[in-house]
């Protein structure tokens, strides 16, 4: 296998439509004021604010947990999570060259937070709950200077760290019941902590920000109030608001140069306020809890990231938000292109169906059905409707331009609709349910009528593909069978059995063979005529294969699954030609665009990745 692996080419991905919403203060505006930097799974993305051009920094083997940018903008540092007991890396990146400079390994399990000193001399890192230590690194020598346990014995973990804005020798850590100001003693290679006094108040700190002249630092807490501390006296200066505290905690906080604070709460409220009352002077409500506030320059404009994968741009003067980037924040279940065009595509995740413009990565339309989960979507061949499968057992059809609900088929399946497909004459929908039934629906001008319920599968239907002639279709199920149905007589033609939970199936364009895959990691070629197996390939070394698509010519096909890799295969040779590394979650579905320009893959962490198709189209 090692000989085969060496001849892969790596796929280059063109675009990524995702924000890692679960990384606190993960969104950063670079000091050049032209770029945003944020983590995407195990990748760091540098995105130009005006042109939307994207650069990727690859190097982490697992999800990125924190990001920091030096004051000069020369360096980016990022930390990751890893498995318990293993060392978690910090990577120091050269911003101009967009390349890895050094890999710093000391902490175990997770890097909780990172901060650069004001003159780019030191980097301080905070280990996660399994590590509990704070380490100061020399950037020039790229080695650790000293370390210490981050919090005392009788308090919780420290979760945030911030450097002084003026001195390279002072930084502050805070967390569950602990607020410490640290002094670096370079000749003795030691750091000395001083516990800050908050009297009777016990708080869990979520966010931290330092005033530009180091006169005070501000702490946002889970209680929903703000503590103002003096770093010289280590005493509490004031606290507020006394009454209307911020709901779900102060999750992000940022000091402005002109005085005052920008505060983001866990319920999506963004507020401008001032000490000591901390009453809102200006406020706006955003979608999803605020995770990051990052200033562009002096703060005349700033960017806000939320838990629902939205990035907003806000001008301070009018305090109005503009949505600049968005994506799914739940597992993406399906992706589909309209017939014959690669200009746009649709995805579904949890309660959302979204239509995207392929080249600009913009969201064109969002259809939301609250408290429901969409399992699958398909465009009608004429492009006049989007057909969707929902877990409440209904099939819903929406207009693709306005998102207007056109019709609903109630009680289509007992245990939710799990798969859906349409015929090319736009007269039929074939749906599969959680109970294993396959149902054929006739779609008239104003009516939707059940033609036949085909009861053969014993478990949920995972994938449906229809033949070009509309006279036959194949359904894959998690009961270990694939059934080829005659859509004229509405009877079973052929059944394929295997010791696997089938997840995906494709017709070869000449339609005399099908390829399947599933939880046994095997890609199998089958004869449609008699259901016999032609060949079996190892689709993955670890984890199920969940998604598959084949080109119109039938020369190549693509797969993706729980190994997080996108693979391009030669159909006749049965060998991998290209591998794409970029996803950090299980790939749930994958499609080749009409015209073979792109491959688009979606995953369980909410990511949508667009890859350049490796062969000339």
Task: Give the model confidence (pLDDT) of 307-340 as tens digits.
Answer: 988 999 999 999 999 998 888 888 999 999 999 8
Select from 379, 403, 485, 395 the least CA-distant residue to 449: 395
Give the span between the Cα atoms of 612 and 342, in whole angstroms: 13
Identify the structural domains of the chain with CATH numbers, from first to last: 24-195 (2.130.10.10), 332-612 (2.130.10.10)
Query: Would you state the pLDDT for residue 1?
Result: 34
If DSSP codes are grouped into helix, strand and coil, which group holds residue 562?
Answer: coil
Better-predicted residue by pLDDT, 7 or 119: 119
Q: Residue 489's Cα: distance from chain center in Å?
A: 44
Q: Is the dihedral of CA 321, 323, 328, 334 positive or negative?
A: positive
Tens digits of per-residue pLDDT, 177-213? Answer: 999 999 999 999 999 999 998 888 899 999 999 999 9
Looking at the predicted structure, is the pLDDT value of residue 240 above 60?
yes
If DSSP codes are grouped into helix, strand and coil, which group holds residue 13?
Answer: strand
Query: Would you state the pLDDT for residue 330?
Result: 87
Contact 274, 261 (CB under 8 A): yes
Q: Is the peptide bond before 426 cis (omega within 30 degrees of 0)?
A: no
Residue 567 is inside which H or E element, if any? strand 565-570
DSSP letters, 381-433, are TTSS-EEEEETTS-EEEE-TTT--EEEEETTS-TT-EEEEEE-TTSSEEEEEE
Q: State mean pLDDT over 52-75.
A: 91
Give the whole-number percent of the chain exceeding pLDDT 70. 96
- Which residue has tokens 């931290």? 208
Give the span between the Cα atoms of 541 and 522, in whole angstroms: 10
Sheet arrangement for strand 545-550 = 9-10, 575-581, 565-570, 556-561, 545-550
Query: Would you state the pLDDT for residue 138?
Result: 94
Tens digits of per-residue pLDDT, 462-475? Answer: 999 999 999 999 99
Q: State mean pLDDT over 569-591.
A: 91
Q: Report residue 3's pLDDT band, with 50, 70 and 90 as the boundaries.
A: very low
**Residue 239 burial by Cβ neighbours in a 10 Å radius (0-12, 13-18, 19+):** buried
Query: Would you state the pLDDT for residue 460?
Result: 95
Give the span between the Cα atoms of 486 and 327, in whole angstroms: 39
DSSP letters, 101-160, are EEEEEEEESBEEEEEE-TTSSEEEEEE-TTT-EEEEEETTTTEEEEEEESS-TTS--EEE
Spatial CB neighbours of 201, under 8 Å, sequence gap ≥ 6: 227, 236, 239
Which tokens is 229 given?
A: 């501390």
Among left, alpha and beta (phi > 0; psi -120 to 50; other), residue 103 is: beta
DSSP letters, 356-374, are EETTT--EEEEEE-TT--E
Cβ atoms within 10 Å of 97's Cβ, excluding its own: 8
Least confident of 51-65, 372-386, 416-430, 586-600: 51-65
Give the span between the Cα atoms of 267 and 285, in whole angstroms: 9
Give the span between the Cα atoms of 176 and 159, in whole angstroms: 8
If DSSP codes are grouped into helix, strand and coil, which group holds residue 2?
Answer: helix
Looking at the predicted structure, is the pLDDT value of residue 5 above 50?
no
CA end-to-end span of the chain: 29
pTM of the model: 0.86
């Amino acid at each position: 296998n090692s000989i085969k692996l060496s001849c892969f080419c790596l796929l280059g991905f063109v675009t990524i439509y995702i924000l890692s919403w679960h990384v606190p203060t993960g969104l950063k505006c670079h000091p050049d004021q032209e770029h945003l930097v944020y983590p995407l799974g195990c990748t760091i993305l540098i995105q130009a604010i005006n042109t939307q051009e994207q650069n990727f920094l690859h190097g982490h083997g697992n999800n990125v947990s924190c990001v920091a940018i030096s004051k000069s903008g020369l360096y980016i540092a990022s930390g990751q999570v890893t498995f318990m007991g293993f060392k978690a890396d910090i990577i120091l990146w050269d911003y101009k060259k967009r390349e890895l400079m050094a890999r710093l390994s000391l902490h175990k399990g997770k890097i909780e937070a990172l901060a650069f000193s004001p003159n780019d001399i030191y980097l301080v890192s905070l280990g996660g709950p399994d590590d509990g230590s704070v380490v100061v690194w020399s950037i020039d020598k790229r080695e650790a200077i000293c370390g210490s346990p981050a919090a005392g014995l009788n308090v919780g973990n420290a979760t945030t760290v911030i450097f002084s804005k003026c001195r390279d020798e002072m930084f502050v850590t805070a967390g569950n019941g602990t607020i410490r100001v640290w002094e670096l003693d370079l000749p003795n290679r030691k750091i000395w902590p001083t516990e800050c006094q908050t009297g009777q108040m016990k708080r869990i700190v979520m966010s931290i920000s330092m005033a530009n002249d180091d006169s005070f630092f501000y702490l946002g807490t889970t209680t929903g109030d703000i503590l103002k501390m003096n770093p010289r006296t280590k005493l509490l200066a004031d606290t507020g608001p006394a009454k209307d505290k911020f709901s779900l905690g102060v999750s992000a906080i940022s000091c402005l140069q002109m005085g005052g604070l920008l505060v983001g709460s866990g319920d999506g409220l963004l507020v401008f306020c001032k000490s000591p009352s901390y009453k809102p002077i200006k406020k706006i409500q955003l979608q999803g809890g605020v995770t990051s506030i990052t200033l562009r320059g002096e703060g005349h404009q700033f960017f806000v990231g939320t838990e629902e994968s939205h990035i907003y741009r806000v001008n301070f003067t009018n305090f109005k938000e503009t949505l600049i980037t968005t994506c799914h924040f739940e597992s993406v279940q399906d992706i589909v292109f309209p017939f014959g065009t690669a200009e746009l595509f649709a995805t579904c995740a949890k309660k959302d169906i979204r239509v995207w413009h392929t080249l600009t990565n913009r969201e064109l339309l969002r259809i939301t059905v609250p408290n429901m989960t969409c399992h699958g979507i398909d465009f009608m061949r004429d492009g006049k409707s989007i057909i969707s499968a929902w877990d409440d057992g209904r099939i819903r059809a929406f207009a693709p331009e306005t998102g207007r609900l056109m019709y609903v088929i109630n009680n289509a399946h007992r245990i939710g609709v799990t798969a859906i497909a349409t015929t090319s004459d736009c007269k039929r929908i074939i749906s599969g349910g959680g109970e294993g039934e396959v149902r054929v629906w006739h779609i008239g001008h104003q009516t939707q009528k059940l033609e036949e319920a085909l009861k053969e599968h014993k478990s949920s239907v995972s994938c449906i593909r229809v033949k070009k002639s509309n006279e036959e279709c194949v359904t894959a199920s998690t009961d270990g069978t694939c059934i080829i149905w005659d859509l004229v007589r509405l009877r079973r033609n052929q059944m394929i059995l295997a010791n696997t939970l089938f997840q995906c199936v494709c017709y070869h364009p000449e339609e005399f063979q099908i390829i399947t895959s599933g939880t046994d990691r095997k890609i199998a070629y089958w004869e449609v005529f008699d259901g016999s197996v032609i060949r079996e390939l190892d689709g993955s070394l670890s984890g199920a294969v969940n998604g598959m698509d084949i080109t119109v010519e039938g020369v190549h096909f693509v797969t993706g699954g729980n190994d997080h890799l996108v693979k391009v295969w030669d159909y006749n040779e049965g060998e991998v030609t290209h591998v794409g590394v970029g996803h950090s979650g299980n790939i749930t579905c994958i499609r080749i665009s009409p015209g073979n320009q792109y491959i688009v893959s979606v995953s369980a962490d909410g990511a949508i990745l667009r890859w350049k198709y490796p062969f000339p189209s």
